[in-house]
Chain A
Amino acid sequence: MTVAPALSTELTAVTQEPAPPGWWRRIPAKAKAGVVLFGFFVLTAIIGPFVTPYDPSYQNPNPAASMNAPSAAHLLGTTQSGQDVLSQLLVGIRLTLELGLLVGLVATALSVIVGVTAAFLGGFWDELLSLLTNVFLVIPALPLLIVLLGYFPNKGEWPTIIVLALLGWPWGARVMRAQTLAIRNRDFVAASRETGERTWRIITFEIVPNEVSLIAASFVNTVLYAIGASVALAFIGVADLNSWSLGTMLYWAQSQQALQLGAWWWFVPPGLAVALIGTALVLLNTGIDELGNPRLRDASSVSRIAGRWLKPTNPTPVLSEISQRRSGFAGFLHSFSRSSLLDQAEAGEGR
């Protein structure tokens, strides 16, 4: 990142063109769309609760105020008990985003710790942590979340946040481990080891800064998981039903038969908000992917000359999983994973 801006100013100096708008221009279109969309929701979450037209929990006793279709007084209509849907939405977006971002932070931190530790310790501990990661990847999280949270009734949002974070780290840990293994043997790490830097310093100042883009991708993914899971949990009724989140809105809409009564304005806004936040995160993630792997860039990078699509040739070597010699118990543990296939392929070719 430090080299690129210097390069671009040099280019503009030579060609006498106006300076490009800098980093924003190099970001893939999908990531830009994601940033804008997600930024919109973050803004809504910050400002929303201050500009709600009504108290989201206020139940209008007047039967005429119940189940109103969208109108000037209630832009998104009202619920069965006369509550304003727009006010609920504005408050709900904040709670859902807060929860997603918090879980994302904690779970990503956990995944960095597990992944980097596994790669750095190597051998037996690496394989044990990888085994644990794979086990938690294959056990479906939602039923486990439901079982766990069933024992913490009405304790607010914190049990949900903690349990979601505790189950949200394996994907990230897997990626972090693979990347750390790849970086660990680079020259600059070897150099800092030679100069006598301590292991924790190498990890925090040499390794982790080089994994920032991966950590960002894993954070985005985890937020996506957290929002999806928390909305699903609330929809089932495993949440603090006295607070307004997108999930609890959907829960009340479903349990009070909004669909059967034809009140689409009750369940479409919260569901659409979840879907749009999710889309923003998916877009962000594909954008980050494309930054790292130029081959994935779409139509814009494919030039069409004389009616033929010209595909860019391989700009980057394909990163395959680093296979390393494993011995003893570590090798034994590793042989149970799916990725042991790759070792076998090499063993087969060698003979």
Chain B
Amino acid sequence: MSFIVRRLIFYVVAAWVALTINFFIPRLVPGNAVEAIMSKFPNLQPSAYRALEALLGVGRGGSIWHQYWSYLVDVSHLNFGTSVSEYPAQVSTLLGEALPWTITLVGTATVIAFLVGTALGIAAGWRYGGGLDRVLPGLMFLQAIPYFFFALILLELFAVKVHAFPIGQGYGQGLIPGWHWDFIGSAIYHSLLPALTIVLTSIAGWMLTMRNVMITTIGEDYVVAAQAKGLSNRRVVFTYAARNAILPQLQGFGLALGFVVQGALVMEIVFSYPGIGLLLVNAVTSNDYPLTQAIFLVITFAVLIANVIVDIIIVFVDPRTRVREATR
């Protein structure tokens, strides 16, 4: 079995764990989920009880295994039920509308932040004790700022004080979403501040870890040997040191991705950005349990898929993953 196939199986297990947790949460809550909702809306008629049961899929009758199976079948058909707050919209429709916004914004901004942060980390690691190290405390501060707070500050500075950017939303009012330049231009313009928030707050993390790995790598014998051979600095930095230091950085990328996505989700609220994060908050505040749980699944799956992509990149960058197959 190749590395990638085994990793895929691991992600399937992780997905299964997430699915199972998601299935059991409404069933293990003290009292039960339906009563929790009923108690939040005192003016609901008792007759709503059955309807809510049907909606949440808890009152479906049959054994728990039967319920579990039909739940898995539903999810595999992307059938997450009906939204309570946006009744009668299907949860899957709402997700389909919000997902492209988040994936485009968070995906692009994260890749940019990773690339720039890694490049800066290479520079800082190679010349450690140099100028770039002096901004490290500042970077640690940036890293510690919650995304949404940084978003508030950027909005205050660039949208409220100086009217350089729109104060929120995903696109200008009166525009009809579609593939025409007015809309695309407006969407890009509206996404600049959110993207800047993600890049500026996450860049520090990538830079710090890359710097530390670089410093450790530079001490390795093969780097010293390359220098002793009289190779050019550029070659030593990129072909010898950075080439190897990037591997742990990539592995860290897969794990840290979840944090970036979570931060970005909360940030969307500040910008009223029409993505998954805003949908999640609206679902939570209106006690829309089917929608909330579906969003948990979607976010988890998105992070898992991103991890698969990172693993594929690792296979291409790390020859060790291929050595074994060649020697077989």
Question: Which chain A residues have a beta carbon within 8 Å of chain B's beta carbons?
Answer: 30, 33, 131, 134-135, 137-144, 146-148, 150-153, 224, 228, 231-232, 235-238, 250, 254, 259-260, 262, 264, 267-268, 271, 274-279, 281-283, 286, 289, 293, 295-296, 298-299, 301-302, 309, 311, 313-314, 318, 335-338, 340-342, 344-345, 347-349, 351
**Using a CB-CB cutoff of 8 Å, which residues 202-220 of chain B contact chain A?**
212, 215-216, 218-220
> Which one of A30, A131, A137, A151 lies within 8 Å of B13 (CB-CB)?
A131
A143 touches B7 (CB 8 A): no
Q: Say whether, besides A237-B281, A274-B146, A298-B133, A279 and B140 are in contact (CB < 8 Å).
A: yes
Per the bound structure, the CA–CA distance linking A286 and B320 in Å amounts to: 30
Q: Cβ of B287 < 8 Å from any Cβ of A?
A: yes
Per the bound structure, the CA–CA distance linking A244 and B222 in Å amounts to: 56
Q: Specify which chain A residues have a CB less than 8 angstroms from the CB of B36 in the assembled complex.
A: 151, 153
Q: Specify which chain A residues have a CB less than 8 angstroms from the CB of B148 in the assembled complex.
A: 232, 235, 250
> Which one of A153, A236, A278, A298 lies within 8 Å of B136 (CB-CB)?
A298
**Smallest CB-CB separation from A136: which chain B residue?**
B17
* Contact segment of B73-81, B151-159, B176-184, B188-196: B151-159
Q: Say whether, besides A250-B149, A259-B160, A341 and B215 are in contact (CB < 8 Å).
A: no
Question: Which chain B residues have a beta carbon within 8 Å of chain A's beta carbons?
Answer: 1, 3, 6-7, 9-11, 13-14, 17-18, 21-22, 25-26, 29, 33, 36, 40, 127-130, 133-134, 136-137, 140-141, 143-146, 148-149, 152-153, 155-156, 160, 167, 212, 215-216, 218-220, 251, 254-255, 258-259, 261-263, 265-266, 269-270, 280-281, 284-285, 287, 289, 292-293, 295-296, 299-300, 303-304, 307, 311, 314, 318, 320-321, 323-324, 326-327
> Which one of B17, B25, B320 lies within 8 Å of A341 (CB-CB)?
B320
> Which one of B215, B262, B321 lies within 8 Å of A296 (CB-CB)?
B215
Per the bound structure, the CA–CA distance linking A271 and B29 in Å amounts to: 33
Secondary structure of the A contact surface, majority rule: helix
Indicate the member of A295, A299, A338 with the most B CB atoms within 10 Å.
A338
Q: Say whether, besides A138-B14, A147-B296, A344-B324, A309 and B144 are in contact (CB < 8 Å).
A: no
A318 touches B216 (CB 8 A): yes
**Smallest CB-CB separation from B220: which chain A residue?**
A318
Per the bound structure, the CA–CA distance linking A306 and B314 in Å amounts to: 42
**30 residue pairs bridging A and B, Cβ less than 8 Å apart:** A30-B137, A134-B10, A134-B14, A135-B14, A141-B258, A142-B265, A147-B296, A148-B25, A150-B287, A150-B292, A152-B29, A232-B262, A232-B266, A236-B266, A236-B269, A236-B281, A254-B270, A268-B153, A274-B146, A276-B144, A278-B143, A302-B129, A309-B127, A309-B130, A318-B220, A336-B6, A345-B320, A348-B320, A348-B324, A348-B327
A279 touches B9 (CB 8 A): no
Nearest CB of chain B from residue A199's CB, rounded to whole Å: 30
Listed from nearest, the 8 A-B pairs whose CB atoms lie closest are A278-B144, A348-B323, A271-B149, A302-B129, A142-B262, A299-B129, A140-B258, A345-B320
**Smallest CB-CB separation from B33: which chain A residue?**
A151
A336 touches B9 (CB 8 A): yes
Q: Specify which chain A residues have a CB less than 8 angstroms from the CB of B311 in the assembled complex.
A: 338
Nearest CB of chain B from residue A127's CB, rounded to whole Å: 12
Nearest CB of chain B from residue A81's CB, rounded to whole Å: 20
> Which one of B14, B156, B293 lies within 8 Å of A147 (CB-CB)?
B293
> Which one of A286, A289, A341, A351 lies within 8 Å of B321 (CB-CB)?
A341
Nearest CB of chain B from residue A257's CB, rounded to whole Å: 11
